[in-house]
C-alpha cells in the first residue's frame, strides 16, 4: 500500500485554476521529487496535501487513511511533517529551544503541562542528538534568528525530523543558497532522511537528481511525466517544458 496517494486533485482560487487533476503515488521509503516551472502548482500541491489549503476536488490518502481536507495539526499528528519555502523557525528562541519545542509538540505537549524531570532529561538528550545530527550542537545556545541562512535551513530540517514523521515534505530546502551550501544541504538531507520517505519540491536540478529516485513533473497544474530520474532526463516533453529552459 502506498504511504501517500493523491487522486484527481483539483484546486482553484476564486476561479483561478491551479491544480487540474493531479495524480501522485509515493511508496514507503521512496525519495520523490516534484519539479516544474514557476506557477506549475508545486507549492500549492504541498499546501493542499498538508491541510493548509482545502482541495476543490479529489482525495488524499496517507497510510491508508483519507486525510482530504483535514486541518494541518491533525495531519501532522498522523505522521506527516513539512518544511516551508521561506524558513519557518522561532527566530527569538535558541537553536536548542527550537528543536526541543518540536519534540514536545510531537505528543501534543503544551507549556501549561510540565513533564517530569526524568522526561525532560530524555527530551534534552534527544534534542542534543538531533542537533548533533544536523551539525548545530555547538550552536545550541545561539538565537535561531542570528544563524546564517544555511544553518537556519538545517535547523528547520532538524525541527521537521524531530516529530519522528512517517513522511517528510521539504519545500525548496536549498532556496537562496550558494552552490556550496546546497551541496552541504543535500548531504544533510541524505543523512537525516535515511530509511524514511521523502517528498521534495526543488528547483535546483542537481539537488533533485542527487536525492530523488522518483520524479513527478507538473506543468500548468497537470502531471506532465513521472518516473525514474533517468527516464525524466530523456523525456522530450520535459526537456521542452522545463529542463531545457533557464528558469525556476
pLDDT tens digits along 31-41 = 999 999 888 89
User: Is the model's pLDDT at 110 over the cut of 50?
Assistant: no
pLDDT confidence of residue 71: 93
User: Is the model's pLDDT at 111 over the cut of 50?
Assistant: no
Average pLDDT over residues 49-64: 96
DSSP per-residue string spanning 77-114: HTTEEE--SS----TTSBHHHHHHHHHHHHTT--TTS-
Quickly state the pLDDT bin for 118 (edges 50, 70, 90): low
Shared-domain flag, residues 25 and 130: no
Cβ-Cβ contacts under 8 Å for 225 (sequence gap 6 or more): 216, 217, 231, 232, 235, 237, 238
Domain that includes residue 14, residue range: 1-78
Shared-domain flag, residues 85 and 70: no
Shared-domain flag, residues 48 and 20: yes
Quickly state the pLDDT bin for 208 (edges 50, 70, 90): very high
Residue 151: give its domain's CATH number. 3.40.50.300
Quickly state the pLDDT bin for 244 (edges 50, 70, 90): low
Grid coordinates representing 236 are 522530450
Q: How many structural domains compose the chain?
A: 2
Each residue of 122-176: pLDDT tens digit?
A: 899 999 999 999 999 999 999 999 999 899 999 999 999 998 899 999 999 998 8
Shared-domain flag, residues 35 and 70: yes
Amino acid at each position: 500500500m502506498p504511504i501517500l496517494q493523491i487522486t484527481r486533485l483539483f484546486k482553484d482560487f476564486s476561479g483561478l485554476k491551479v491544480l487540474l487533476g493531479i495524480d501522485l503515488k509515493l511508496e514507503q521509503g521512496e525519495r520523490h521529487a516534484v519539479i516544474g516551472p514557476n506557477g506549475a502548482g508545486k507549492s500549492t500541491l504541498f499546501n493542499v496535501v498538508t491541510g493548509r489549503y482545502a482541495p476543490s476536488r479529489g482525495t488524499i490518502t496517507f497510510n491508508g487513511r483519507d486525510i482530504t481536507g483535514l486541518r494541518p495539526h491533525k495531519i501532522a499528528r498522523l505522521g506527516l511533517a513539512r518544511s516551508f519555502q521561506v524558513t519557518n523557525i522561532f527566530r527569538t528562541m535558541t537553536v536548542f529551544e527550537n528543536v526541543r519545542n518540536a519534540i514536545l509538540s510531537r505528543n501534543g505537549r503544551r507549556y501549561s503541562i510540565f513533564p517530569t524531570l526524568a522526561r525532560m532529561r530524555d527530551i534534552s538528550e534527544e534534542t542534543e542528538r538531533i542537533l548533533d545530527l544536523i551539525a548545530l550542537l555547538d550552536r545550541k545556545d545561539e538565537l535561531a534568528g542570528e544563524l546564517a541562512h544555511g544553518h537556519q535551513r538545517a535547523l528547520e530540517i532538524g525541527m521537521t525530523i524531530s516529530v519522528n514523521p512517517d513522511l517528510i515534505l521539504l519545500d525548496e530546502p536549498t532556496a537562496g543558497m550558494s552552490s556550496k551550501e546546497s551541496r552541504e544541504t543535500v548531504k544533510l538531507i541524505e543523512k537525516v532522511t535515511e530509511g524514511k520517505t521523502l517528498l521534495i519540491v526543488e528547483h535546483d536540478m542537481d539537488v533533485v537528481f542527487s536525492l530523488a529516485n522518483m520524479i513527478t513533473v507538473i506543468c500548468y497544474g497537470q502531471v506532465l511525466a513521472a518516473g525514474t530520474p533517468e527516464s525524466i532526463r530523456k523525456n522530450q516533453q520535459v526537456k521542452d517544458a522545463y529542463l531545457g529552459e533557464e528558469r525556476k
